[in-house]
Amino acid sequence: MYFIDKLALRAGNEKGDEEADTVGCCSLRVEHITLEEPNTVVFDFLGKDSIRYHNSCTVIPQIFKNVRLFLKSKDGVKDPEDALFDKLSVSLPS
């Protein structure tokens, strides 16, 4: 919610195979995020209409800490193609 509110990122979701690999907040992958100490998050991905979104954002320390936790899996670090927010979806439950 922080990124949607503060950076105006769209919610986004998974795409079909025939659609461009555009990204929103819920479909961010590990490869789209870089952390820079002490509290900067760097985004780099294709946004709506296939326009590159590249932005460095200074965030509050708690957000930086939370993103660092999302970059990890139970077994260590997630793979670059893994979903950053793997527990989120903008789809309605069936």
Within-domain flag for 29: yes
Domain CATH for 24: 3.90.15.10
Within-domain flag for 28: yes
pLDDT, tens digit (0-9, with 9 covering 90-100), for 23-62: 888 889 999 999 999 999 999 999 888 889 999 999 999 9
Within-domain flag for 90: no
Within-domain flag for 82: no
Spell out the alpha helix ranges (H) of 8-94.
61-70
Domain that holds residue 17: 2-77
Within-domain flag for 92: no
Within-domain flag for 93: no
Total domains in the chain come to 1
Within-domain flag for 86: no
Answer yes or no: is pLDDT of 14 > 70. no
**Per-residue CA distances from 90 to 58, 64, 76, 85, 93 (Å):** 26, 23, 26, 11, 9
